[in-house]
Amino acid sequence: SQTIHQWPATLVQPVGSPLSLECTVEGTSNPNLYWYRQAAGRGLQLLFYSVGIGQISSEVPQNLSASRPQDRQFILSSKKLLLSDSGFYLCAWSPPGRVARTYEQYFGPGTRLTVT
Amino acid sequence: AQSVTQLGSHVSVSEGALVLLRCNYSSSVPPYLFWYVQYPNQGLQLLLKYTSAATLVKGINGFEAEFKKSETSFHLTKPSAHMSDAAEYFCAVSDRKAGTGFQKLVFGTGTRLLVSP
């Protein structure tokens, strides 16, 4: 069976500090990977998605970047955090393929980021 | 682009009462629809999905949803609420990204279900 991990679970960082959040998936190959941010009362905002190693698509311009150095590893980064980067960050995966619309996404446990 | 609207940011019910969480979608093509549940400080868990087979979809934990094309709705129901159902619920629709054809999910803003004894 497939498992998705995220760490750290919680993080408190000062404004201007760097960020690195990690997501790994087990039990599948070449998954599609996603990063979302969830702010209170605003639902889920898709930040990045990836269909393969080194292939990153950004959904919205922001202070964040993503990388996929290995098939089942997805990293969310920032060089200098802003207060507005606070939120709950969720990683998700779905089976590979661009056109299969029936594939739901499976979510990790999330990382709570507080920028002070 | 596809979108979903969840009416009511909060819904309160008594334990044992009917749960009804509303979701309306906007889609130019036959949609694929999903309901997810999120417990505090956890990720999202899939409750059920509609993929153009039966219009009445049964999910986990006694939840079900009915796809009504004429009303562009996909409301989530449960006959009898339990205290453990208190959580946030998200409706989502599959959307094709222009230019790439990549399929992604578009989520509603969520409905928090409160269950009182």
Of A49, A98, A112, the CB nearest to B41: A112
- Name the pLDDT band for A72 (thresholds 50, 70, 90): very high
Task: For chain A, give the percent of residues with pLDDT over 90.
Answer: 72
Residues in B closer than 8 angstroms to A6, CB to CB, are 43
- Would the pLDDT of A24 be above 80? yes
Q: Which residues of B12-43 are buried (b: 16+ CB within 10 A; e: fewer)?
A: ebeeeeebebbbbbebeeebbbbbbbbeeebb
Closest chain B residue to the Cα of A88, Cα to Cα:
B41
The verdict on B35 touching A (C-beta cutoff 8 Å) is no
Residue B22 contacts by C-beta under 8 Å, 6 or more apart in sequence?
B6, B7, B8, B73, B75, B111
| Strand A111-115 versus strand A10-13 pairing type | parallel
Q: What is the pLDDT of residue A7?
A: 95
Distance of residue B47 Cα from the nearest chain A Cα, in angstroms: 11
Please indicate whether, in this complex, the C-beta atoms of B103 and A108 are within 8 angstroms of each other: no
Q: What is the pLDDT of residue A41?
A: 67
Residue pLDDT, tens place only, A76-110: 999 999 999 999 999 999 988 765 556 789 999 99
- Name the pLDDT band for B29 (thresholds 50, 70, 90): confident
Residue pLDDT, tens place only, B58-89: 999 999 999 998 999 999 999 999 999 999 99
- Would the pLDDT of B30 be above 80? no
Average pLDDT over residues B27-42: 87
* Residue B113: closest CA among B43, B23, B24, B39: B39
Residue type at A60 in one-letter notation: V
Q: Lowest mean pLDDT: which of A10-19, A53-62, B9-18, B37-46?
A: A53-62
Please indicate whether, in this complex, the C-beta atoms of A107 and B45 are within 8 angstroms of each other: yes
